[in-house]
Amino acid sequence: MPKETPGTLLSFRPAIKVIDATLRDGGLVNDFRFSDDFVRALFAANAAAGVDYMELGYKADRDLFDPAKFGAWKFCREQDLARVLGENKTAMKLACMADVGRCNFRRDICKKSDSILNMYRVATYINTIPAAIEMLEYCDKLGYETTVNVMAISKETEKEISLALEMLGKSPAKAIYIVDSYGALYPEEMRILAAKYLEAGDKYGKEIGIHAHNNQNLAFANTIECVAAGVNYLDATVNGMGRGAGNCALELLLGFLKNPKYKLLHILKFLEEGHMQKLRAEGAVWGYDLAYLLTGVFNRHPSSAIRYIKEGRGDITAFWQELLDQE
């Protein structure tokens, strides 16, 4: 892989790619019930803003998840994508996430020439990497770009991460993602991890990506720390919409990046039009909150905090005690 200089605060790296994951990670908080209008408006805003990839949702197995209980973006069937987006005549590429074990990829993923999609992003835990590699190879053979997201690494040992990077280095994935599923990592830990991933990236010719969560209000900070280290694939979502405390906000990220192709104004326009407020009015809840701070500090899955907030609890000291009792 030809090396680029990391850039400075006044220069920029053309190799940087911004991936808008609003429909995918955001879909986790509204069961993927985005209106066609929302999706079209977001598509237009992202394309105008210079976003490189827009992730449309998951390729979930309809035998495992009841289609009556979710919006179309949980499944990303080609007919739904075509109905809402038609042909993609923009420079922006389209992506879809496929979860190991939750996707019938041999049945549901068609060849690239029959699809509006450009890229599959395979999400895996560290113990399912062989299955992830099988999916990456399958998608690659069908003609798609692929990336791989190794989730929940704040729970893994350095040795396990090294082994994972060695295995994924030999896969067709063009980028390997650092994923802080629990929002537990601090910027100085991010720098150490980024260096480790980038070393493997150099060895195997892979790009490195970052997918951050905002449990300790560090999603944006951790993302730009990774940029400073040389990470090029950057996930973000509008208003940080995503599971629990949410993700790195796209508007913050585009405000930071100096690449002239990125135009924050189009995301501001999208926000001004009230699309995100409408989702909140419909009941979608996300964003930094005390309960997420605690699951972040304790390096735990945010599920208990999500439940705490759903139940409208305010007894944060009791919640702290519950987390402590599980140590």
Check binding of 48 to a copy of itself (CB under 8 A). Answer: no
Q: Cβ 307 to a copy of itself, closest distance in Å?
A: 18
CB-wise, 50 or 57, nearer to a copy of itself? 50
Cα-based distances in Å from 279 to 36, 48, 245, 257:
13, 22, 16, 27
Check binding of 154 to a copy of itself (CB under 8 A). Answer: no
Instruction: Give which of 19, 3, 50, 5 is closest to 228, Cα–Cα.
Output: 5
CB-wise, 195 or 290, nearer to a copy of itself? 290
CB-wise, 233 or 298, nearer to a copy of itself? 298
Query: Can you name the residues that pair with 57 across neighbouring β-strands?
Result: none
Check binding of 234 to a copy of itself (CB under 8 A). Answer: no
Check binding of 316 to a copy of itself (CB under 8 A). Answer: yes
Q: Cβ 268 to a copy of itself, closest distance in Å?
A: 5
Check binding of 186 to a copy of itself (CB under 8 A). Answer: yes
Check binding of 325 to a copy of itself (CB under 8 A). Answer: no
Check binding of 119 to a copy of itself (CB under 8 A). Answer: no
Return the range that interacts with a copy of itself (CB under 8 A); candidates 35-43, 146-154, 180-188, 205-213.
180-188
Kindly report the backbone phi and psi dihedral angles of residue 208, in degrees, each rounded to the nearest multiple of 5, phi listed first. Answer: -115, 145
User: In angstroms, rounded to a whole number, what is the distance separating the alpha carbons of residues 263 and 237?
Assistant: 15
Check binding of 6 to a copy of itself (CB under 8 A). Answer: no
Kindly report the backbone phi and psi dihedral angles of residue 97, in degrees, each rounded to the nearest multiple of 5, phi listed first. Answer: -100, 140
List helix spans (H) across the chain.
22-30, 36-49, 78-85, 105-108, 129-141, 158-169, 187-204, 219-229, 250-256, 264-272, 275-281, 290-297, 303-310, 316-325
Q: Provide the 8-state DSSP code for 313.
A: -
The sign of the CA dihedral 282, 284, 288, 289 is positive
CB-wise, 63 or 272, nearer to a copy of itself? 272
Tell me which of 67, 86, 143, 255 binds a copy of itself, using CB under 8 A: 255
Tell me which of 25, 52, 207, 225 binds a copy of itself, using CB under 8 A: 225
Strands 207-211, 175-179: pairing kind: parallel
Q: Are 116 and 85 in contact (CB under 8 A)?
A: yes
Check binding of 285 to a copy of itself (CB under 8 A). Answer: no
User: In angstroms, rounded to a whole number, what is the distance separating the alpha carbons of residues 251 and 153?
Assistant: 26
User: In angstroms, rounded to a whole number, what is the distance separating the alpha carbons of residues 123 and 264?
Assistant: 28
CB-wise, 65 or 256, nearer to a copy of itself? 256
Q: Cβ 252 to a copy of itself, closest distance in Å?
A: 6
Check binding of 323 to a copy of itself (CB under 8 A). Answer: no
Binding-residue total with a copy of itself (CB under 8 A): 36
Check binding of 268 to a copy of itself (CB under 8 A). Answer: yes
User: In angstroms, rounded to a whole number, what is the distance separating the alpha carbons of residues 29 and 240?
Assistant: 12
Tokens describing residue 121: 């992003």
Check binding of 13 to a copy of itself (CB under 8 A). Answer: no
Return the range that interacts with a copy of itself (CB under 8 A); candidates 65-73, 126-134, 186-194, 199-207.
186-194
CB-wise, 145 or 225, nearer to a copy of itself? 225
Q: Are 275 and 41 in contact (CB under 8 A)?
A: yes
- Binding residues for a copy of itself (CB under 8 A): 9, 186-189, 216-218, 220-222, 224-225, 228, 249, 251-252, 255-256, 264-265, 268-269, 271-272, 274, 290, 293-294, 296-297, 314-317, 320
